[in-house]
């Protein structure tokens, strides 16, 4: 039995065998281009074979460094943005306690994990210093260049604080840099200061990088089994290599998305029924938005947390514009479960559920919403996940990465670049007065007068 499985039976009113058959030549071409390296962005295919050719020596150093951080730190600050932190947070949230940082360290046994450099909020940074207090902490700075604005600001501030707290020599032993192997400001600083370093490979883009040192170090610090993550990633590589779409769920997911878009479904809602999957949805949104949102193409990726959002935007999904479809992440076996007790007074009228598990009720909410929404012409895809553990995290990451790449090639776009991301940065640098942007600065200041 597959531990991750796609079910598109609740979208068959929109996806016919004929629809699938018509796209098979396009799928075969995409498969061939991806696996021969003849497609767009082929310099960024390192993630495909990473589960079998990763640096085993570096992997062991990651585990050794994680043990050191666990032994000498109460807190780890992970500094990064986008792909440099979203996958990490997705893993730790998915695999850990819902209130991980709030439970007693004796039960948690590993450092609290917090994130910085993913925004430009002074209040956030100062609040984070309040949380750290006088406790021992370490930093994992993740940046290929070392000059990306948000993490660079955060790192400058936290590095200064760390050096004042411990002295420069000891601070250097508490800073772990995940960066370029040869060049860049962070690489230069790390060499000078003697930081422990891990490599961001040139052939793996940020949003495809979680199961590399980018994510593996903080995930290991949080106490999770990175060997099992790699095992799941490796097995997924093998499973999703099959050209036959009926034996490759990642390819079928890519095909279903394309068929639904052709039929006017321009928004995909990734739906979860477990709060632990909320951050995973954020990683997924970046993966598909940054990979496909170019040349005026691409499905808009959004996400919802059920049953919570059924009480807020559920009305729109049921009766609003018919421009969306749902992809439901269904966790078959919860990490924990409990039963609803019998109450003699029964004022809340819940005794009909007595002795049933909360997870059972959760799955009935899933089934009820799926039936209602499909009746309302919102097709549903379902991805069944056996359980939320390290193995399935590694596998699920590869599932979506492979589907995203194949889908992009079928759309005739490069799923590995992000040219539009630079536009806001150019404007921001000009408005900040960065050297070299003087002409642009004058133009923009004139445009924003009165705002």
Averaged confidence pLDDT in the chain: 95
Element (H, E) at 272: strand 267-272
Active site residue 290: yes
Phi-psi region of 184 (alpha: psi -120 to 50; beta: other; left: phi over 0): left
- What share of the chain has pLDDT > 90, as a percent? 90
Instruction: Give the pLDDT mean for 426-451.
Output: 77
How many CA atoms lie less than 13 Å away from 59 in the CB half-sphere? 15
- At residue 170, the 3 state secondary structure works out as helix
Instruction: Give the pLDDT mean for 441-445.
Output: 78
Give 450's pLDDT tier (boundaries 50, 70, 90): low
373 contacts: CB under 8 Å, gap ≥ 6: 317, 318, 326, 380
Q: Token pair of 144, please?
A: 């290929």
Residue 416, pLDDT above cutoff 80: yes
Contact 188, 208 (CB under 8 A): no
- At residue 391, the 3 state secondary structure works out as helix
Residue 150, pLDDT above cutoff 70: yes
Residue 56: per-residue pLDDT: 97
Residue 140: per-residue pLDDT: 98
**In this predicted model, what pLDDT tens digit does every residue of 332-378 receive, in sequence order?**
999 999 999 999 999 999 999 999 999 999 999 999 999 999 999 99
Residue 441: per-residue pLDDT: 76
- Displacement of CA 38 from its chain's centroid (Å): 27
93 contacts: CB under 8 Å, gap ≥ 6: 100, 276, 277, 278, 279, 280
Instruction: Give the pLDDT mean for 108-113.
Output: 93
Residue 423: per-residue pLDDT: 75
The Cα 391–Cα 232 span in angstroms is 4
- What share of the chain has pLDDT > 70, as a percent? 99
Instruction: Give the pLDDT mean for 194-202.
Output: 97
The active-site residue out of 425, 438, 443, 445 is 425
Q: Token pair of 35, please?
A: 């696996």
Give 105's pLDDT tier (boundaries 50, 70, 90): confident
Residue 446: per-residue pLDDT: 75
- Angle, CA 232 vertex, CA 247 and CA 101 arms, to 5°: 135
Question: Would you say how long the chain is, in residues?
Answer: 451
Instruction: Give the pLDDT mean for 221-229.
Output: 98
Contact 200, 44 (CB under 8 A): no
Residue 265: per-residue pLDDT: 97
Residue 18: per-residue pLDDT: 97
Residue 67: per-residue pLDDT: 98
Closest CA to 330 of 292, 290, 374, 274: 274
Residue 1: per-residue pLDDT: 65
Cα–Cα distances (Å) from 363 to 306, 333, 389, in that order, read 11, 10, 19
* Beta bridge partners of residue 297, listed in sequence order: none
Q: How many CB atoms lie within 10 A of CB 339?
A: 13
253 contacts: CB under 8 Å, gap ≥ 6: 6, 327, 381, 383, 399, 403
Q: In what order do the strands lie in the sheet with 324-333?
A: 4-7, 380-387, 324-333, 267-272, 300-305
The active-site residue out of 112, 274, 290, 326 is 290
Residue 153, pLDDT above cutoff 90: yes
Q: Token pair of 69, please?
A: 């951080």
The Cα 98–Cα 159 span in angstroms is 29
Closest CA to 378 of 209, 287, 265: 265
Residue 451: per-residue pLDDT: 65
Q: Which of 106-115, 287-296, 301-310 has the lowest mean pLDDT?
A: 106-115
The Cα 129–Cα 117 span in angstroms is 13
């Amino acid at each position: 039995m597959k531990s991750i499985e796609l079910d598109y039976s609740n979208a068959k009113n929109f996806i016919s065998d004929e629809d699938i058959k018509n796209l098979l030549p396009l799928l075969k071409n995409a498969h061939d281009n991806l696996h021969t390296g003849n497609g767009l962005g082929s310099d960024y295919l390192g993630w495909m074979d990473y589960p079998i050719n990763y640096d085993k020596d570096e992997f062991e150093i990651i585990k050794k460094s994680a043990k050191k951080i666990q032994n000498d730190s109460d807190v780890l600050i992970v500094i990064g943005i986008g792909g440099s932190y979203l996958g990490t947070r997705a893993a730790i949230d998915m695999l850990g306690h819902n209130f991980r940082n709030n439970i007693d360290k004796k039960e948690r046994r590993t450092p609290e994990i917090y994130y910085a450099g993913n925004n430009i909020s002074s209040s956030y940074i100062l609040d984070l210093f309040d949380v750290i207090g006088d406790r021992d902490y370490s930093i994992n700075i993740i940046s290929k260049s070392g000059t990306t604005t948000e993490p660079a600001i955060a790192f400058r501030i936290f590095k200064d604080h760390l050096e004042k707290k411990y002295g420069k020599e000891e601070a250097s032993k508490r800073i772990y840099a995940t960066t370029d192997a040869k060049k860049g400001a962070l690489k230069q600083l790390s060499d000078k200061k003697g930081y422990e370093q891990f490599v961001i490979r040139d052939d793996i883009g940020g949003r495809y990088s979680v199961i590399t040192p980018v994510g593996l170090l903080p995930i290991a610090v949080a106490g999770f089994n990175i060997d099992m993550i790699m095992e799941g990633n490796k097995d997924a590589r093998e499973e999703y290599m099959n050209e036959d779409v009926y034996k490759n769920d990642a390819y079928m997911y890519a095909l279903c998305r394309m068929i639904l878009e052709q039929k006017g479904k321009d928004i995909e809602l990734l739906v979860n029924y477990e709060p632990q999957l909320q951050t995973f949805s954020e990683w997924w949104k970046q993966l598909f938005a940054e990979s496909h949102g170019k040349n005026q193409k691409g499905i808009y990726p959004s996400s919802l947390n059920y049953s919570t959002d059924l009480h807020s935007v559920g009305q729109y999904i049921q009766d609003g514009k018919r421009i969306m479809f749902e992809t439901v992440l269904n966790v078959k076996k919860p990490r924990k479960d409990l039963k609803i007790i019998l109450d003699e007074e029964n004022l809340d009228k819940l005794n009909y559920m007595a002795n049933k598990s909360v997870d059972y009720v959760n799955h009935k909410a899933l089934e009820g919403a799926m039936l209602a929404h499909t009746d309302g012409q919102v097709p549903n895809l379902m991805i069944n996940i056996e359980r939320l553990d390290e193995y399935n995290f590694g596998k699920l990451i590869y599932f979506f990465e492979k589907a995203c790449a194949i889908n992009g090639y079928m759309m005739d776009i490069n799923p590995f670049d992000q040219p539009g991301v630079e536009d806001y940065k150019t404007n921001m640098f000009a408005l900040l007065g960065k050297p070299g942007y003087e002409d642009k600065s004058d133009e923009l200041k004139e445009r924003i007068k009165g705002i």
